[in-house]
């Protein structure tokens, strides 16, 4: 004989409270602050080993800003992870139209555990923008996949477009690469973009939280992808002729977990990247063609739940050693190699953002080795998502917050 358990009725007052909560939760993304240009000093003086500076907020009201880039005429592009790109011209902020379909979990209650990292990601202006007008950006592309609900299958994509004549939207939109196979959304999309200056474009794709693709050269996740600027694998990529079979010709390097920082040193042409470890073991290394960076067989971190070390050890034959390791979790983000005149004592230094620690690190390089580091900003403004050197020589930061902003570092005596 089955025992029938009657559902317990929720008191009327509680039901009303829950209803109000759900209405307010669903309205968060409807009523949001609008981006606004400003000039607000946040910190008047921060002393560091080589230079003193102040922090000025120049844009507020951004929802999880992800990347900053500049057009040659000084106008600024800013991406927001929920799928918006803004053009900032003086005191004017315009949301650009005609972006491709972008997957983003607006309601974090329906997102995978830990929240969704999907959305509009990096933006980069082509070095010859004055001649060709191209703007490149990465995003989480929705689509179908075997065994996955097509409304939830996603993959990192690279697109390019031009600004229309009145600067209100994008035109000539081309998606030149999409990760195939797409997988369940949520984690580890990468993704940063650099132009080596040889007619190619390089961008990162995370391992999508699956781990195994990072050592599988038939799967592009967990890799650096190198394409010709109009699409298609560069003909001199390292795995096109080196091995027979169905290796992916677009792969430039592999063994990555989730690179969300990448920058070229304009003085040397070296490509530097930061990679998220699991729990601990965040890395800085130099990207070179054909190199294996080890993940997940070689790592410096541990499992979140069991605290067991991941992989076979911290090094192995054929695996490129990192230039720097954060043993604790700092969650690396934007990256810049500084060569401006505003902070001459930082010349050639790497500036690395941290999401979890809400910091900016200054790493001093000598002969390709990190000899010392300094914490420049220990938590004054929030989660650091992007770090860029502006065309004026100042350092710019974007904060990954629901009410995020753009900040500028200016030298002071």
Residues annotated as part of the active site: 188
CA separation for the pair 167, 92 (Å, rounded): 11
Cβ-based neighbour number of residue 64 at 10 Å: 21
Task: Give me the residue label for tokens 């690469």.
Answer: 177
CA separation for the pair 85, 87 (Å, rounded): 7
Contact 339, 349 (CB under 8 A): no
Task: Give me the residue label for tokens 């005609």.
Answer: 98
257: its two tokens: 């977990």
Q: Which alpha helices (DSSP H) does 28-160 contain, by range?
A: 129-132
Partners of residue 62 on adjacent β-strands:
404
> What 3-state DSSP class applies to 243?
coil
Residue 222 phi, psi dihedral angles, 5° rounding: 70, 30
> What 3-state DSSP class applies to 18?
helix
2: its two tokens: 């089955």
Residue 239 phi, psi dihedral angles, 5° rounding: -110, 15
- Three-state SS for 381-405 is CCCEEEEEECCCCCEEEEECCCCEE
Contact 334, 321 (CB under 8 A): no
383: its two tokens: 């989660």
Task: Give me the residue label for tokens 């200056």.
Answer: 197
CA distances (Å), 206 to each of 181, 183, 197, in order? 13, 12, 24
The H or E element containing residue 325 is strand 324-326
CA separation for the pair 354, 362 (Å, rounded): 11
CA separation for the pair 148, 199 (Å, rounded): 36
């Amino acid at each position: 004989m089955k025992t029938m358990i009657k559902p317990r009725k929720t008191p009327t007052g509680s039901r009303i409270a829950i209803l109000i909560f759900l209405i307010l939760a669903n309205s968060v993304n409807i009523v949001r602050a609008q981006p606004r240009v400003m000039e607000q000093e946040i910190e008047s003086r921060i002393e560091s080993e080589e230079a003193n500076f102040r922090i000025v907020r120049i844009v507020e009201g951004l929802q999880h800003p992800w990347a900053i880039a500049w057009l040659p005429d000084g106008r600024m592009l800013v991406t927001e992870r929920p799928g918006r790109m803004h053009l900032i011209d003086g005191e004017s902020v315009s949301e650009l139209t005609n972006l491709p379909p972008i997957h983003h979990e607006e309601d974090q209650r329906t997102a995978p555990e830990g929240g969704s990292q999907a959305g509009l990601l990096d933006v980069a202006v082509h070095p010859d923008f004055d001649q060709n007008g191209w703007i490149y950006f990465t995003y989480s592309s929705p689509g179908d996949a075997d065994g996955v609900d097509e409304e939830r299958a996603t993959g990192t994509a690279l697109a390019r477009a031009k600004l229309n004549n009145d600067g209100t939207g994008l035109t000539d939109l081309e998606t030149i690469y999409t990760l195939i196979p797409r997988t369940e959304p949520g984690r580890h999309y990468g993704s940063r973009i650099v132009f080596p200056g040889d007619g190619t474009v390089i961008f990162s794709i995370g391992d999508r939280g699956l781990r195994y693709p990072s050592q599988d050269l038939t799967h592009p996740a967990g890799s650096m992808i190198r394409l010709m600027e109009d699409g298609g694998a560069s003909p001199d990529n390292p795995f096109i002729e080196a091995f027979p079979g169905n290796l992916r010709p677009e792969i430039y390097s592999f063994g990555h977990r989730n690179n969300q920082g990448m920058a070229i040193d304009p003085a040397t042409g070296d490509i530097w990247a930061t990679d998220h470890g699991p729990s601990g073991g965040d890395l800085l290394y130099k990207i070179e063609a054909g190199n294996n960076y080890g993940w997940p067989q070689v790592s410096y971190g541990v499992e979140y739940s069991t605290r067991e070390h991941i992989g076979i050890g911290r090094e192995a034959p054929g695996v490129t050693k990192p230039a720097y390791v954060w043993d604790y979790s700092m969650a690396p983000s934007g990256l810049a190699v500084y060569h401006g005149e505003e902070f001459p004592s930082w010349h050639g230094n790497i500036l690395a953002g941290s999401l979890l620690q809400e910091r900016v690190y200054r790493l001093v390089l000598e002969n390709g080795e990190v000899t010392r580091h300094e914490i420049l900003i220990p938590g004054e403004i929030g989660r650091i998502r992007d770090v860029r050197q502006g065309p004026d020589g100042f350092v710019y930061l974007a904060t990954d917050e629901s009410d995020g902003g753009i900040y500028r570092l200016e030298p002071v005596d």
